[in-house]
Chain A
Amino acid sequence: DIQMTQSPSSLSASVGDRVTFTCRASQSISSYLNWYQQKLGKAPKLLIYAASSLQSGVPSRFSGSGSGTDFTLTISSLQPEDFATYYCQQSYTTPFTFGPGTKVDIK
């Protein structure tokens, strides 16, 4: 199985900050990497698919990059509604493993 790791596991940031977090796959997954946002008590929401494609309706302050084994999600200017947990997921092969998540909270 492909293992996904994310760093950091949590971070504290302020509104307006630029934040970047990373996701690493245990083997190459090309660009089959997706990012989801989950707020407390809610279902996950797709933000980025295929490593760098912005899902329709998602603000442009979110961006993704990477290929192979190393990927990043960047929020250019953190907004109050962005405080949440972010998960990466590989869709290269089953099992479609998720990373453990990065929790973003208010500094």
Chain B
Amino acid sequence: EVQLVESGGGLVKPGGSLRLSCGVSGFTFSSYSMNWVRQAPGKGLEWVSSISSSSSYIYYADSVKGRFTISRDNAKNSLYLQMNSLRAEDTAVYYCARTSRSGYYFDYWGQGTLVTVSS
């Protein structure tokens, strides 16, 4: 069974940092691109970042470029999102999601982890 489990969310002050993790099981992690998608309270979905299977290709939304860094450790079956210079508008539930083998849709999602940026 495919499982994705996010962790690392919490309350952080503006300007602070946080590192999210997504542990996966039930599939060959090293063969799939992965993504982070967030959802602010009461709002819609916003794609944040994607990373290819070997980390060769990395993409970011403009809203987080220069502040967030996506990475992965294929040996540990884990995806990460290092978030720096956090702002109130980064408050959201952060989901990790797997890209399908065809590369064009997100076929499995984690349950999400809440990040709250507030003083």
Contacts and interface: CB of A to CB of B under 8 A. Distances in A.
Interface of A: 1, 32, 34, 36, 38, 42-46, 49-50, 55, 87, 89, 91, 94-101
Given A94-B50, A95-B47, A98-B44, A50 B105 contact: yes
B65 to A, nearest CB: 10
Interface residues of B, number: 23
Contacts of B106: 34, 36, 44, 46, 89
B105 A46 contact: yes
Contacts of B88: none
Interface of B: 35, 37, 44-47, 50, 59, 61-62, 95, 97, 100, 102, 104-112
A43 B112 contact: yes
A34 B99 CA distance: 12
B109 A43 contact: yes
A101 B44 contact: yes
A32 B104 contact: yes
B105 A95 contact: no
Contacts of B44: 87, 98-101
A94 B59 contact: yes
Contacts of A97: 47
B99 to A, nearest CB: 9
Nearest to A96: B47
A101 to B, nearest CB: 5
